[in-house]
Each structure stands twice: as C-alpha cells, then as structure tokens.
Amino acid sequence: MSDTKDATLTPEVRRLHKGMAEVWANPRGLGALTVVNHTSVGLRFMVTGAIFFLIGGLLAMLIRTQLAFPDNDFMSHETYNQVFTMHGTVMMFLFAIPILEGLAIYMIPKMIGARDLVCPRLSAFGYFCYLFGGIILVSSLLFEMAPASGWFMYTPLSSGDYAPGRGSDFWLLGITFVEISALSAGVELVVSILRTRTEGMPLHKMPLFAWYILAMALMIVVGFPPLILGSILLELERATGMPFFDVAGGGDPVLWAHLFWLFGHPEVYIIFLPGAGIVSTLIPVFARRPIVGYGWVVAAIVIMGFVSFGLWVHHMFTLGIPQLALAFFSAASMLVAIPTGIQIFVWLSTLWLGRPVMSLPMLWIIGFLVIFVLGGLTGVMLALVPFNWQVHDTHFVVAHMHYVLVGGMLFPLIAGLYYWLPLVSGRMPSARLGKWSFWLIFLGFNLTFLIMHWTGLLGMRRRVFTYDTAMGWDIYNLISSVGGFMMSAGVALLILDVALHFRFGKKASQNPWNADGLEWAMSKPPTPYNFVSLPRLDTRHPLWDDPELPRTITEGRHGLSTIDHGRRETWGSDALTGKLREVVHLPTNSWWPFFAALALAMVCVCLLIRIYPLAAVATLVAVVLLLRWSWENGAHPRAAPDSTVSPGQPPLHSRTMNGPGVWTMSVTHLANGSLFLSLLFGWFYLWTVAPEWQMPETSPLSPSMLVGAGVSLTLGSAWLARLVRRLRRDNDAGLGGGMYLAAGLGALQTVLLAAVIWQAELAPTETAHDATLLVALLYVLIHALLGGLLCLLQGLRVGYGFVGVHAPLEPVVVLRFWYYHLVVYWVLFVAIWAMPTILGGGT
Amino acid sequence: MSILDHSGPAARAQFWVWWAMLIVTVVVSLSVYALWLYTFRRREQPQRTPREERRIMLRWVLGGGIALPVVSIVALLVFAAPTGRSMLPLPLPEGEAERIEVIGHQWWWEIRYPGEEGERDVITANRLVMPAGEPVDFRITSEDVIHAFWIPRLGGKRDMIPGRHSTIRLEADVPGVFGAQCAEYCGAQHTHMLLHVEALERDAYDAWLAERRAPPVPQEGFDQAREAFGEHCAACHTVAGFPEELVVDELEHDIRGPDLSDIGSRPTLGAGVLPMEEGAIAYWLQHHQTLKPGNRMPPHHHIDTETLQDIGAWLEMLEP
Amino acid sequence: MKQLLRLTHPIHLVSGVTIWGIWFVAIYAGLSVACSVAPPDPERDMLTGINIGVGLATLFTTLLLSGLTWASVAAGRRAEPRRERFFAYASAGIFLFSAGGTLFVGYPIIFLPPCL
C-alpha cells in the first residue's frame, strides 16, 4: 500500500507524500548503485549477510561430513584446513557482524523517529566495502588458495615462513576491508542514536534496542581497531619481512594473540548485544506489558560493554602467562555472569507480570533462552583456569562457542526476522512451516552440539581432520553430523517459508503484533523517508500510549513536514534531552561511495597479487575520490545551497557550530585512538616482553626535527583554534588565508617527519624495534599530511563560499582532527623518543 | 585421551570441579527454563499496583539476577580456582622435581633429559618416559609454530611458543601408558602429532635413563645401511655414535628431524601414524608422504627400495 | 563541562566501569612489567611486594568506587527531574558493581605467587 494512493488523505497531504517520494526516490537499474537510503542499504547488508551465512553453513556441512566417520577420506587435510578456517571466518566476519549491522541500519532510524542515518553515503560506502571484501575473501575458496591457519590466524603459523601461499593475504586484506565497513557503520550508528532522535525523545526513554545498538556500535568503534592494526602489521611482515611477530627479529608471536583477542573477545559481545536487544524488544510485546526494570537493563548493557574488554586473555589461558594474571582475567570473566543474570531475570519478571502469548517469534525466543543459558553456564566453567586448561582447544570449546553464538545471536535474529517480516513485506509469515523449521533447527542444533561437549571431554581436539576409531569417538561424531544435517534442513525450510510468504502470506494489519514501537507506525513496506511527519514523543511506548499515531503521522500532522525545498531532512536533537537543535539535511544519492569502495578494492587486489606500484596508484585514486566526496557537503549546491527553514524551526546543521559532523569526527577519533593505543601497546609490549628485543643505545631519531614537527603541529592547532574562535564571534575575515597558513604548517610537519624517517636510516626488516618505529612515524606522517590537506580544501571552500560565517561547521570539524593529532603526536614523542632516551636502550 | 579417566592429581582435581559445576549447571538451567515456561501456563493474573509489580521484579532480579551468579562465582573462585596451584612449579619440600624438556616441531615431539654437568643430554622423540608417583616439571618450547603439550589423563595443557620456555608440573599416580597430543592447531598435520607417554617406577625410570646415557656401543655390520644413512639422512637425523659423537644441536640444517638413537624401542612411527613392527621403518621410508602427507621429510623416490629396506632394518636394531 | 562532573549526568554510566578498567589495566600491566624486570624468588610464594602492591591498589580502588556509589545514590535522592534521578541510580548500580568487581578480581593475590 503506497501512501500516495490512499484515498482517505486530502489532496494536500497526497502532494506532500508525492513530494517526499520524489526527493527520497531510489533510482533503478545501474543507478541503484548510487542508493544511500538506510532502508535499502540495511536490506542489502542483511541479504548479503544471509548469502554468506549459507556459504558458511555449507562449509560447516563439509566439516560434519568429514568427521561423521573415523579415518574418513572425504576431504584431504589441506582442503579440510581451509574449510574450517573459512567456516569460522565467514560466519564471524561476513555473516554475524554485517547482518546485525544491517538490522541496526535498517531499524534504528525507524525506531527513533528519524528519516535516515546521519551519514547516508557512509552507509553505502560501508556496504560496498563489505561486499567487495567478502567477495575477495570467499573467492580464495574458488582459487583453492583459502587461508588455512584457523580463524584466529596465530602467528607464526600464518606468517610467511609457515604459510607461504596467498591464503593469509586473502584473510588479512579481505578482513581489513570488511572491517572498514563495520567501523563506518559503528560510527554513524552512535551519532545517529545520540543526535537524530525525534523531537522530545530523551536518552532514558529511547527504545532499549537503541541502547543495545549504541553499546554495540561503540564496542565496534573501540574493539575493531586492534585487529586492524594487527592485520596491517602481519601483512607488512608477510609482504616486506618486518619482524613484528618473529622472535629472531625481536618480535613476539604472542603479540598477535593479544591484538587478535583484544578484538576477538569484545566481538562475541558485539554479536550478542543486538541479539539481546531483539529479545528485550520482543518480550514486552508478547508479554503485553512494558518491560520492567528498564534501568537495570541499561546498567547491564553498560557493564557488559565494558567488562567484555577485560576478558581477552581468557582465550589465552594456556599460553604460559603467569597464573596470577590469568586469575585476574578468570575472575573478570566470571563477573559477566552478573549482567547476563540481570537481563535473564528482567525478561523473566516481565513475562511473570505480563500475560504472555505464544507466537512464532516467541518460540524462537524460548529457543534462544534454552540454548544461551547453557552456553553462558559452560562459559562460566571455561572462565575457571584449571578447567580451561583441560578443555581448551577441544570440541568442548567448539560446542560452548556455538551455544553462545547460535543461541545468543542466530535464534534472536530469526525471532526478529519473523517479528519484523510483516514490516518489510506487508505480509504475515506462515505459522506451520515456521514451526517445522524451528523444531528442526532447535533439535538439530542440540543434537549436534550438546553431544559435542562430551566428545571434547573424551579428549577430541578441535581442528583435527580425522580420528582413529580406537579413540571411541565414532558414535558421538556421527550423532553430531546427523544433527548438523537436520539443522540444515531446518534452514532450508526457513528460507522456503520466508520466500513463500512474500507471495502467499496474509496481508498484515497496521500493527500486527500490537507492538509499542514506533516502527509499526509506518506504511508497509516502508517508504525511504520512513515518516512523512516526525512526531514529538516523550514515552517509551509510543504506539501503546497513542494508537492513533500511524494515522496522524501519515496525515503529516507532526514536525518537519515540508518538502518544497527539495532537501532530505531529519531532526537533529540534543543527545540528552531530545530537544530540537537543528534540521539535519542529508545528502542524496551519490556515485562517490561506490567508486571510492571500488578503488579500495583495487588496492586490496593489487596488494594481493603483489603489484605494489599499482597499489600505490589505486590508493591515490581512492584518496582523491574520498576527498572529492567530502567536497559535496555543507553549502555546496548538491548538499544545501540555501539555508532557509520554516518559521520556528531550528537552523540547518551545516549552519551551526555543533552539528552531528562534530560528533562524527569525535567518534571516528575514538576508533583512531583505539588504533593508536594498540600500536602503543605493541611498542611497549615488544619492548618489555619480546625475548630477542634489540634497542640501540641512543635513539636513531633526530630530536630537533621531531620537536620541530611537533611545534609546527602545535602552532597550527593554536592558529586553527583562533580561526574558529573568530568564527564563533561571526568574524570570517581572513579565514581563507588562515586556512592556507594552517595547510602550510601541516606541510612543514609532513616534510620534517619525512626527514626524520630519512635521516634515521632505519632497518625495518632487520629488527622489530625499527619496524615499529617506522610504522609509528608513518602513522603521524599520514595525519600531518591529511591535516594539511583538509585545511587546504577548507581554504578553497572559503573561496567558493561554501564555508564562512553563514556555514561555520567544517572548520570546527577540522579543528577536532588537529586536536586529536596534537595529543597523539606528543604522546608518541614521549613513547618513542623521550622514554628510550631516558631509560636507555640495549637489549 | 579422556579427561574423565584421570590418572594424576591435577586431572583429578579438574575432574571433580567438572562434576560439581555440571550439577550446578543442570540445576540452574532447568530451573530457569521451568520458570520461563511456567509464565506461559498461568492464565488469570491478579491486578497489581505498580508498587507490587516493582517488588516482584526486584525479588527476581536481586535474587536470580544478582545473588545467584554472585554466590556461584564466589564459590567457584574460592574453592575451585586454587586447584590450579598444584600445577605451579613451586619449590618442593623434598627438593627439585624431575625435569624433562619437551620441544614441539611440525609435526613431532623432541624429548630431552638434561644431563648433569659434563653429561650429555638424552634425546629421544615421540615417546616420553617419566617417573610415576612424583611431580615432574616439563619445560616446554617450540622450534617453529605454536603447539600445545597435553596429556589429558594427567592434567591441563600448555602452549609451546617459539622463543619462550614455560614450565608445567604434572604427576602420574601409578605407572602406566597415556596418550598425549598437540592441542594447538599447528598446520597441515596437526592431527597426526601424537605422543606416547609412559610412566615408570622410579627405579625402572632411572635404569631406562642410564641405559641411554651410557656411551654408545661401537656398532658392527650394516655397513651399507650406515653408508646410505650418511648419504641420505644424516643432514637432518642423528644417531648416537654415528658417524662419531654427533649431536642434533650441531646440525647445520634449519629443519632438523628426530634423533634416531633409540628408534627401535619406540612404539610408533611418524608421531602416532604407524605402529612399530618388523619392516615398519622401511615401509614408512617408502610411503611416508602418503601416510602423513605434507610432513617435512622429503620423498625418497630417488633411493631404491633395497637401500631403504637396508636402512630400515638397521634402524630397527637401534636400541640402547 | 561542569555539568559533566555532576553524578546525575549519563557520562557517569561509564565512569565506574572506566575506573575499574583503568585499575585492571594498571594491575595487569604492572604485574607483567614487574615480573619481567624484577621477578621475586618463587620461595616466597604469594608473600611478595608485587602481591602487596596489587592488594593496596585494589583496596584503594574499591574504596573509591564505594564512595562514588554512595555519592551517586545521594545525588539521585536530591535530583529533581526524573531523567537525572534515572541516571544517578543507574550509575550508582554500575559503581557498586565496579567496586565489587574490583575486590573480586583482586582476590586471587592471596593464594597465588605473582610470576609463575
């Protein structure tokens, strides 16, 4: 049902709908590549994720076939090693994270009453990075060059000496590419949730799902950079021989394990939190009452988000770290039982105090509970160091992690799928097929993995391609395999059910589950602009408090219901109170994201086939494309040439000095800072722990040039800060020239840093010390260069009239960048020059 | 290989911790399931004021969500975590524990019994002999990638990391034979990296060791085999007393193969791939790349079968 | 900026766990550095300077977090808008968790030697 044809609406309202539809239109054909709208991008993420799930599932079935019988020669050991590595990799990186991000991208604006995410082009860019990265990674299977070092790629097994093929390169480059996508989605979800909620929705009244996604997005922002850094270092080691993880050169393979699990453990919670968010959304609906203990859940989310970063070593209990240190991590791991317990019992008391009804989505929630509780309890067992020493790296752990991930993520996801399907398609799923698929998947899953705990206790290691019948594991493995195939049949049935429902499903009513969420106030299937008018809300349950909301929204009786200016708009509101602050005008469809992602894909492919000059060219092209993309912002004719707003409305965000762009830059630097801290961690870790670490008596870096670069950076930041202060006082005289001066200081810093590197005569392929120094110096050099470039562009934009007193946002954003670099630079100066000079080098 | 078939103090402690945790897990999970499902069974609900609702919620959350996990994890930390102490290489009241070095290679085990001053190390491979009834400190490391040393029936595992040494203390209650395996995925033939462990009475252990410490007896016969060995094998493999006192450490090759001085007395070939029988070595020398594809020993197509059989027959004789 | 210091601001939802996190990183890093620079004699078992140092840091952090819990509850009692009370109480819960968590995680120093 399209709103423009709704006969009950007045002609005026119908004109409004038509205008919205035109401004927010998604082009078809080749132009579909330019679509930036969150509904389309979210769906693309989810469909792509589902396809990767099927690929990962197929790999799982190959594994179960191989292990069904002892001494099976269904697959060679080479194929098997590739298959299990890719199964883990695909499921974790190409299915779980992206599909949840897709769900968040799709749902969040609809739940908080926004028309789109805050950086729509970034969503599209993220999608293409994901798609290209995924294709690159999976293509390795077709070339029979897939990575075979296990999904956590422990060095030195994954490094050049022991994995000479291209498999590890496929992994490192493909995954890093996919992680760019995760990061970009993480950044914009944080800012969207905090800054674009509809009028009046205060932080403590936003839907719980938004809290979960906020936590997930922040965790992605902080948790992914360690692995990105690790991947860069390992790829550098493989490509050029810098010995970061090689003992002989002063590196340490355990550094990789730290960097990997610094990411890897939070990732489990990044996957679980959105799942729990779905549970917290569905339970009140089917218990027919508001959730009790909203505040308890918020506290539990915060605790989980943080504590999960203190657990990474529990994947490394057997690595020979002192037992006392292990005990800290063991205790911290057990602590997670508390926030988990709080959530389980909040859900229970909501059901207890409500009048719960059983339904298909609820069935999946029960399945989630049964499986996840068991996974959580075996998790507490594994947190106990002495027990962990026994079952680590056995099938017990394989069973545990499938209980947690399938229980904590897949079951809620399918519950959410059935719950929100009517919103996407306007039709109801079939109850009978759905139940069949539930029971097949549920029983199949438990048959596979419950028994697998036992197989593990009987001593079966993970990642073995065969086993001897004398071990007595035959029957258990056979049962697991049968269960696995049962589960596959269930998944097939699920796909069939979803496919059939698009054609045969009953038409859904406006609010088929009698839910409280704002997303059910929209037309079905949703229009790209979600709501024709944005309601003022001060409740956690908009549709229960005001069942008329769908009608009044459609009739355009709420805010921001003009379209004659031709802009895509949504509200920008105060992070805390939800008071209106600005009108956010959003960019429209664009080719830049697609081409920028394509250029980056070229970089990946060139690195993969080791044609480095071409990779450099492609990098340059990517940078130019990204900067060109940034050109179309603010007062640019393709963004928002005129700044008129309706009377009584707040100003356009690009005409303020604290628009969401400032927040986006800050959150991006949270990610960047996490990357920097990981690098710093690597430096100090190797310095103190690496067995063969070598450090020259005196630092090879020139202190005068280092300080010179730091001074030009400090002066540049102070100068920019002055320009911004003047802008704040409505004075943009000399802004353009001032920007060129700052650009000059950026250039000076770049040159000085390049000279430092040149003069130090580092031997990065000889020692890990020199290699780490080089990477650290390149890190600040890139920032200096980028800082200068951004100022240069700002100077140009002042000339074009895109920046000035009338549009002062961008200099504020650029200043944030300089401030970040200022802090990082001096910290690095202390770490790589001052401390070695004071403490002295030697071995 | 079963963890539950414990045969040493560490494994025994872990065994009891497991059963205790299992019982708690079953009770807790079944109660939670029952409570959840019960909420769907009740029909009529009494009218409750918000205050009453709040009280009921607090009772569940404080009792189930906080008290239950807190009590469980405190119990676990206080009673179960200290069991890990027994595997620490703390000083013993009765003096030094027996020390055995285990070195991981792709995909075999090197075992070393360090000699007293002036004595040479006893080196063997893929068979670990240890004294029973007393704690033994295993000092472990790896020569290439990360492996993990694990004797399930005696206790937990420990990763073997290139460039690092760590010590794990294990004890076998009584003499016996145990399986051990590499637990950390270490590449193509991770599956076939098994270790045969034998615990002997102290006297038998001492005798076993003394036999191997004794200077090698000058060998006679098998001249052709020894010559062929020198030509084809000695770049990677060593045999005590051949050609003179050559020790594995002095090999110039970067990949070294197992020391073969007592190969005749080992129960398996290829780290658990073939049982040692008459003719097994010759068979292994011809077919090792099919039996254990990808292993580091190059194929021997260029050597005629007769020579391989010769070498095999000679090696089978090698027992201290 | 001043607003951020008030315990009714949502930033304090994360300040308790942040303090916990800083303490956690400090004891883990401190332990690792101490063990690589000056490992104590294994004979001394858990009676070492490292254990005592970690213990003192643990007690201090626990006290700090307990104090913040109490202050947060007090701030919640005084707060007028529902929103402020919501955040103060939620933060109080997280402070309390962090205080307990600190003590719990620090506890193993009484039965384990530091560097083995």
What pLDDT is attached to residue B67?
Answer: 95
CATH number of B223-317: 2.60.40.420
Residue A50 lies in a domain: no
Judge whether residue A494 has pLDDT over 60: yes
Domain count, chain A: 1
Evaluated on CA atoms A69, A70, A74, A77, the torsion sign reads positive
Q: Does A377 contact chain B (CB < 8 Å)?
A: yes
* Cβ contacts from A onto B, under 8 A: 244
Average pLDDT on A578-591 reads 93
C28 neighbourhood in chain A, CB within 8 Å: 325, 328-329
| pLDDT at res. B119 | 78
pLDDT for the residue A3: 47
In this predicted structure, what is the pLDDT of residue C69? 96
* B144 contacts on A by Cβ (under 8 Å): 156, 161-162
pLDDT tens by residue, B84-97 = 887 788 888 888 89
| Cβ contact C111–B90 (<8 Å) | no
* pLDDT given for residue A648 in this prediction: 83
Contacts of B73 in chain C (CB under 8 A): 104
pLDDT at B151 > cutoff 90: yes
C-alpha A180/C-alpha B189 separation (Å) is 35
Q: Is A511 in contact with A520 (CB distance < 8 Å)?
A: yes
Q: Is the pLDDT of residue A1 over 70?
A: no
Cβ neighbours of C31 in A, within 8 Å: 322, 324-325, 328
Give the model's pLDDT for residue B228: 87
pLDDT of B248 higher than 70: no
Q: Does B3 touch chain A (CB under 8 A)?
A: yes
Task: Tell me what pLDDT residue B254 has.
Answer: 64
3-state helix, strand and coil shares in percent for chain C, rounded to the nearest 5: 80, 0, 20
Task: Provide the whole-model pTM.
Answer: 0.96
- Phi first, then psi: what are they for B268, rounded to 5°? -135, 170
Beta-bridged to residue B239, according to DSSP, are: B242
In angstroms, rounded to a whole number, what is the distance separating the alpha carbons of residues A663 and A173? Answer: 29
pLDDT at residue A5 tops 90: no
Yes or no, beta carbons of A464 and B29 under 8 Å apart: no
The residues, ordered by sequence, that sit 6+ positions from B61 with a Cβ below 8 Å of its Cβ are A293, A296, A342, A345, A346, A349
Taking the Cβ of residue B52 and every Cβ of chain A, the question of whether any pair is shorter than 8 Å is answered with: no
* Domains in chain B: boundaries: 9-87, 98-213, 223-317
Interchain contact, A374 vs B29, CB within 8 Å: yes
Distance CA(A103)–CA(A121), nearest Å, equals 17
Q: What is the CATH number of the domain that holds A733?
A: 1.20.120.80
Q: Do A381 and B18 touch (CB under 8 A)?
A: yes
Distance CA A477, CA A71 (A): 12
* Residue A29 pLDDT greater than 70, yes or no: yes
Residue-range domain boundaries for chain C: 13-107
- Residue A585: half-sphere exposure toward Cβ, Cα within 13 Å: 28
- Name the minimum distance, in Å, from the CA of B107 to any CA of chain C: 28
Other CB atoms within a 10 A radius of the CB of residue A478 amount to: 16
* Cross-chain residue pair C17–A203, CB shorter than 8 Å: no
For residues A498 and A368, give the distance between their C-alpha atoms in angstroms, rounded to a whole number. Answer: 20
Can you spell out the DSSP letters for C66-104?
HHHHHHHHHHHHH--SHHHHHHHHHHHHHHHHHHHHHHH
Distance from CA of B158 to the nearest CA of C (A): 13
pLDDT above 50: residue A588: yes
What gap in Å lies between CA C61 and CA C69, rounded to an integer?
A: 12
* Tens digit of pLDDT at every position of chain C (116 positions): 677 888 899 999 999 999 999 999 999 999 988 988 888 888 888 888 899 999 999 999 999 999 999 999 999 999 888 889 999 999 999 999 999 999 999 999 998 998 88
CA–CA separation, A189 and A211 (whole Å) = 11
* Model pLDDT, residue C1: 67
CA distance B286 to A503: 64
φ/ψ of residue A570, rounded to 5:
-150, 170
Chain C residue with the nearest C-alpha to that of B73: C104
Chain B nearest CA to A222, separation (Å): 28
- Rounded mean pLDDT of A419-434? 91
Domain extent for A834: 690-843
Query: A65 touching B, CB under 8 A?
Result: no
Q: Residue B121 — pLDDT band, cuts 50, 70, 90?
A: confident
- In B222-300, the DSSP E strands lie at 268-269, 274-275
Q: Count of CB atoms within 10 A of residue A588's CB?
A: 20
Q: Do A338 and B81 touch (CB under 8 A)?
A: no
Is B76 a residue whose pLDDT tops 60?
Answer: yes
For B168, other C-beta atoms within 10 Å of its C-beta total 25
In angstroms, the CA A340 to CA A710 distance is 47
Do C104 and B81 make contact, defined as CB atoms within 8 angstroms?
no
pLDDT over threshold 50, residue A330: yes
Nearest-by-Cβ selection for C107 from B70, B77, B89: B77
Chains that touch C (3 or more CB pairs under 8 A): A, B
Give the tokens for residue C19.
């303090």
Angle, vertex CA A484, rays to CA A65 and CA A371, nearest 5? 145
Give pLDDT, residue B88: 84
CA distance B243 to chain A (A): 32
Confidence of residue B244 (pLDDT cuts 50, 70, 90): low
| Residue A2 confidence (pLDDT) | 44
Report residue A7's pLDDT band, with 50, 70 and 90 as the boundaries.
low
Q: What residues 247-266 of chain B have any CB closer than 8 A to a CB of chain C? A: none
Write down the architecture of domain B98-213 according to CATH: Sandwich (2.60)
% pLDDT > 90, chain A: 89
Higher pLDDT, A70 or B225: A70
Nearest CB neighbour to C42, from listed B73, B82, B90: B90
Residues 6+ apart with CB under 8 A from A715: A745
CB contact under 8 A, C116 and B88: yes
Determine which of A571-585, A643-657, A754-768 has the lowest per-residue pLDDT on average: A643-657
Does a structural domain hold residue A802?
A: yes
CA of B300 vs chain C CAs: smallest distance (Å): 46
Confidence of residue B249 (pLDDT cuts 50, 70, 90): low
> What does the pLDDT average to over A456-483?
95
Tens digit of each residue's pLDDT (9 = 90 or more) over A651-687: 999 888 988 999 999 999 999 999 999 999 999 999 9
Locate A538 and state its tokens.
């001060």
Burial class (CB in 10 A: 0-12, 13-18, 19+), A435: middle
Task: Select the residue of A81, A366, A378 nearest B188 (Cβ to Cβ).
Answer: A81
DSSP string, A623-685: HHHHHHHHHS-TTSTTT-S-----TTPPPBGGGSSS-HHHHHHHHHHHHHHHHHHHHHHHHHH
For residues A206-228, give the mean pLDDT.
96
In sequence order, the β-bridge partners of residue B103 are: B110, B141
CB contact under 8 A, B36 and A366: yes
Position B195 pLDDT exceeds 50: yes
The arithmetic mean of pLDDT across residues A195-199, rounded, is 95
Q: Which parts of A395-533 fold into alpha helices (H)?
A: 395-405, 411-425, 431-457, 474-504
Lowest mean pLDDT segment, chosen from A46-60, A462-476, A701-715, B81-95: B81-95
Output the pLDDT for position A842.
Answer: 55
